[in-house]
Amino acid sequence: MKVWRLLLQSIGVLNLALSLCGCYFLSYSILREVQHPHVRPGEPFFPAAFWTMTGINVSFLVSFIIVSVMLLKLRPKAPVVHTCLFLALILYVWTIGILWLLPGGVGGSIAGASGVADMGVAPLAVFPVPFLYALISILCVNIARHRLKKASADVAPAIRHE
C-alpha cells in the first residue's frame, strides 16, 4: 500500500518540477515577446495566436500545479483530475498541430506562435519524448488509484468484523 502512495506522490513531484520548469520557459518567452515583438509578413496573426496560446499555457500550468499538490496530499480525486488534465493537454497539442494547416496566414501564424507560446506545456508534453511521460503517468496513477481503492476496501470489512 505504501508503494502506491509513494508512486502517486512521486508523480506529483515530477509534475510539479515539470510545471515549474514550464513556468520558467513561458516567462522567458513572454519577456522576449514583450521586449522584441515578432513581426513577419507571412504571420499576420502571430500576436493573437501567441497571447491566446500563452493564456492556455498559463491555465494548464496552474492546473498542473494544483493537481500536483493534490497528488502529494493523496487526495482521492487527484488521479482522475490528473488523467483528465493530461488528456486535455494531448488534445490541445494535437489541435494546435492541425490548426497549422489553416490557410491565409492563420496556420503560419499559429505554427510560428506555437514554437514560443507553448514553451510552458512543452516539458509536460515532450518529456522525455512526446507524450511518453503523459501516457505513463496516466497509467501509473490509475493503477495506483485502483490498488489503493482495493486495499482500503479489503481493510474496511476486516475492521467491522473485529
Tens digits of per-residue pLDDT, 15-44? 999 999 999 999 999 999 999 998 888 899
Average pLDDT for 135-146: 96
The arithmetic mean of pLDDT across residues 111-117, rounded, is: 93
Nearest partner of 92 among 49, 135, 60, judged by Cα: 60
- Residues 107-116: what's their mean pLDDT? 94
Q: How confident is the model at residue 157 (pLDDT cuts 50, 70, 90)?
A: low
Q: Tell me the domain boundaries of the chain.
A: 2-149
8 A C-beta contact, residue 114 and residue 102:
no
- Determine the pLDDT at residue 1: 73
Reply yes or no on whether the pLDDT at 149 is more than 60: yes
- Rounded to whole angstroms, how far apart are CA atoms 7 and 139? 11
| Residue 158 confidence (pLDDT) above 70 | no
| Whole-angstrom distance, CA of residue 136 vs CA of residue 111 | 28
56-108 tens-digit pLDDT: 999 999 999 999 999 999 999 999 999 999 999 999 999 999 999 999 899 99
- Residue 61's contacts (CB-CB under 8 Å, 6 or more residues apart) are 19, 22, 23, 26, 120, 121
Q: Is residue 14 scored above 90 in pLDDT? A: yes
User: In this structure, what C-alpha cell is assigned to residue 9?
Assistant: 506522490
Cα distance between residue 71 and residue 7, in whole Å: 9
Residue 60 Cα distances to 4, 67, 85, 87, 111, angstroms: 26, 10, 8, 12, 19
Tell whether the model's pLDDT for residue 2 goes beyond 70.
yes
Question: What is the sign, positive or negative, of the torsion defined by CA atoms of 15, 20, 23, 25?
Answer: negative
